[in-house]
């Protein structure tokens, strides 16, 4: 999985983070005030990009967290087989099948170009926003 690091205090809603080895989109960030004997804590609530599960993490504000590198690539749709699309990457000419998400079903037609995303080594047609 391609990843980098960032400070947890720099996380903002809409950014990405890895929690429990799963890439997630940050939904909410809250910072607690530093106490008499401790540092400020940051609580990050996020939703998994691939599974849709809600996750949260609490760490001291000066710690670093892992951030996934999300690759957006283009491919051409070769064929539609039921709920799957056979697509070919336009740079590497690799051919593979991916399930078609309901929200973009009408955009995926044979011969057309589509964007797909590679997140944590998993390819998906689901838009990553």
Q: Name the CATH topology of 3-68.
A: SH3 type barrels. (2.30.30)
Domain spans in the chain, listed from the N-terminal domain onward: 3-68, 71-124
Q: Name the CATH topology of 71-124.
A: OB fold (Dihydrolipoamide Acetyltransferase, E2P) (2.40.50)
Instruction: Put residue 37 in one of left, alpha, beta given phi > 0 → left and psi -120 to 50 → alpha.
Output: alpha
| pLDDT for 16 | 94
By three-state DSSP, how is residue 11 classified? coil
- pTM of the model as a whole: 0.79
Task: Look at residues 60, 50, 52, 38 and name the one whose alpha carbon lies nearest to residue 121.
Answer: 50
| pLDDT for 121 | 82
- CA distance linking residue 5 with residue 14, whole number of Å: 16
Q: What is the mean pLDDT of the chain?
A: 90
- CA distance linking residue 110 with residue 60, whole number of Å: 50
- CA distance linking residue 84 with residue 125, whole number of Å: 10
The helix (run of H) or strand (run of E) holding residue 112 is none
pLDDT per position as a tens digit, 67-84 = 999 999 999 999 999 899
């Amino acid at each position: 999985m391609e990843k980098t690091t960032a400070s947890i205090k720099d996380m903002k809603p809409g950014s990405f983070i890895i929690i429990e080895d799963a890439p997630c989109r940050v939904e909410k960030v809250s910072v607690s005030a530093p106490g008499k004997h401790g540092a400020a804590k940051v609580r990050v609530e996020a939703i998994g990009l691939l599974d849709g599960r809600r996750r949260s993490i609490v760490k001291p504000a000066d710690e670093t967290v892992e951030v996934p590198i999300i690759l957006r690539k283009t491919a051409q749709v070769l064929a539609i087989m039921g709920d799957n699309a056979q697509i070919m990457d336009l740079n590497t000419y690799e051919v593979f099948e991916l399930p078609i998400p309901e929200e973009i079903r009408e955009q995926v037609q044979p011969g057309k170009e589509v964007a797909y995303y590679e997140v944590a080594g998993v390819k998906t047609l689901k838009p990553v926003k």
